[in-house]
């Protein structure tokens, strides 16, 4: 998962709403994850710009879990993602990180999202699709994104060894967006059809990145060229009209967009060698 830093805590923007696993045999015992004893409520450590953390935020908001059941706080509360205290809970020093009510640290955004939808299944709306075919399509779509796009999407906002490598990775993104276009429902309004599911949560935040970065920073005239189904799906979730869930995705769009604008104003793409300083 991505680990952007340097942004305000989400906790200041949230409105009020009502045995160590056994693995393969090993010769050396490994220590169990350290459990936090800081609070009885679960905590999600995340910042607004985190597209991976936003997967989880969508689920938390949609189920009405913030702030009574789950607090959203910045990793700076523990000294930052590379602090000793944070890395005792998340040894990779990345976001997001969920610490459950019992103090169990859970990391990797798709794992956290699955946990939230399972743990709080009886609270708020359900996002479990009706048929095995729909659930398989949902899993496949998220798998395509996480396997082929997620590893290279940093090319849009981080330094690259060369312009050629950046261009090659942008091509990978575009090729796999075309695959997602083939998987996206033609009827909508959600990715798999008439009901929202975890695929909408998993993909939408990164599409905010695609629109903002590919068009604003890389000069693509249209991030969704030749992808009408993806365009219709994204615009519906971005607009925030038509359903409570779309209202949540629009809220998350605002969180991410504001943070990306702050990146832009701070010269991130110039610093990362993507744009010339005199292009600003």
pLDDT tens for each residue of 5-35: 444 444 433 333 333 333 333 333 444 555 4
Average pLDDT of span 39-58: 94
Contact present, 76 and 85 (Cβ < 8 Å): no
Retrieve residue 116's tokens.
């939230």
Q: Please, which pLDDT band fits residue 239 given cuts at 50, 70 and 90?
A: very high
Q: Please, which pLDDT band fits residue 2 given cuts at 50, 70 and 90?
A: very low
Question: What is the distance, to the nearest Å, from the Cα of residue 157 to the centroid of all Cα atoms in its chain?
Answer: 15
pLDDT tens for each residue of 145-190: 999 999 999 999 999 999 999 999 999 999 999 999 999 999 999 9
pLDDT at 4 over 80: no
Full-model pTM: 0.85
pLDDT tens for each residue of 81-120: 999 999 999 999 999 999 999 999 999 999 999 999 999 9
**For residues 280 and 119, which has the higher predicted lDDT (pLDDT)?**
119
Write out the E strands in the chain: 42-45, 70-73, 97-99, 105-107
C-alpha 13/C-alpha 10 separation (Å) is: 5
C-alpha 49/C-alpha 268 separation (Å) is: 13
* Residues in CB range of 220: below 8 A, 6 or more apart: 214
**For residues 273 and 257, which has the higher predicted lDDT (pLDDT)?**
257
Contact present, 196 and 138 (Cβ < 8 Å): no
Retrieve residue 163's tokens.
């312009």
pLDDT at 242 over 90: yes
Q: Please, which pLDDT band fits residue 203 given cuts at 50, 70 and 90?
A: very high
For residue 45, the 8-state DSSP code is E
20 phi and psi, to 5 degrees? -5, 135
Contact present, 62 and 190 (Cβ < 8 Å): no
C-alpha 103/C-alpha 89 separation (Å) is: 10
């Amino acid at each position: 998962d991505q680990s952007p830093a340097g942004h305000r805590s989400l906790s200041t923007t949230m409105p009020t709403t009502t045995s160590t696993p056994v693995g393969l045999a090993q010769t050396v015992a490994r220590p169990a994850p350290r459990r936090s004893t800081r609070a009885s409520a679960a905590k999600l450590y995340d910042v607004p710009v985190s597209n991976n953390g936003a997967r989880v935020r969508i689920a938390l908001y949609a189920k009405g879990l913030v702030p009574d059941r789950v607090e959203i706080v910045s990793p700076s509360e523990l000294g930052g993602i590379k602090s000793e205290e944070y890395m005792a809970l998340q040894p990779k020093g990345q976001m997001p990180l969920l610490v459950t009510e019992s103090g169990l640290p859970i990391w990797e955004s798709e794992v956290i999202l699955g946990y939230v939808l399972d743990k709080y299944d009886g609270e708020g709306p359900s996002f479990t699709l009706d048929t095995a075919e729909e659930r398989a399509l949902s899993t496949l779509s998220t798998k395509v994104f996480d396997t082929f796009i997620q590893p290279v999407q940093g090319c849009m906002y981080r330094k690259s060894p060369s312009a050629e490598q950046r261009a090659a990775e942008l091509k990978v993104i575009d090729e796999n967006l075309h695959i997602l276009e083939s998987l996206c429902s033609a009827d909508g309004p959600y990715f798999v059809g008439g009901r929202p599911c975890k695929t909408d949560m998993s993909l939408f935040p990164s599409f905010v990145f695609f629109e903002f970065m590919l068009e604003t920073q890389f000069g693509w005239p249209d991030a969704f060229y030749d992808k009408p189904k993806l365009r219709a799906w994204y615009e519906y979730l971005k607009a925030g009209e038509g359903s409570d869930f779309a209202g949540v995705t629009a809220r998350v769009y605002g969180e991410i967009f504001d943070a990306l604008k702050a990146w832009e104003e701070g010269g991130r793409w110039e610093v990362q060698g993507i744009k010339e300083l005199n292009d600003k």
